Amino acid sequence: MLNGIGGKTIAEAKERLSIIEYKKWTLYRNKYGSLNPGLRTEWASGVISSVIANTNRDPKHPAFTPTDFTQHFDEPEPEQESDQPISLKEAMNTWH
């Protein structure tokens, strides 16, 4: 899960990482994505490809996104713009 952070095995990571450090790495991954160098390279290539494609595209056509040029990434779902918190029951319904 953490691509070698803390050790090469789960046992090594449990021995070397504190729960606080593990939670910090988890927050980092949630914010910046996978630590896998292959996926990071794929995303960077997608960004560069979309920039080049958008500079050369016909303005009548929609803009390209990095996910148009990546195999392992999907278009992110749009965020809800609701100021009202949802109920526990509504949240539980989204978990199924």
Each residue of 20-63: pLDDT tens digit?
A: 888 888 888 888 777 788 888 999 999 999 999 999 999 999 99
Domain boundaries, the chain: 1-35, 37-70
User: Quick one: tokens of 23?
Assistant: 């939670």
d(CA 30, CA 2): 11
Q: Is the pLDDT of residue 17 over 90?
A: no
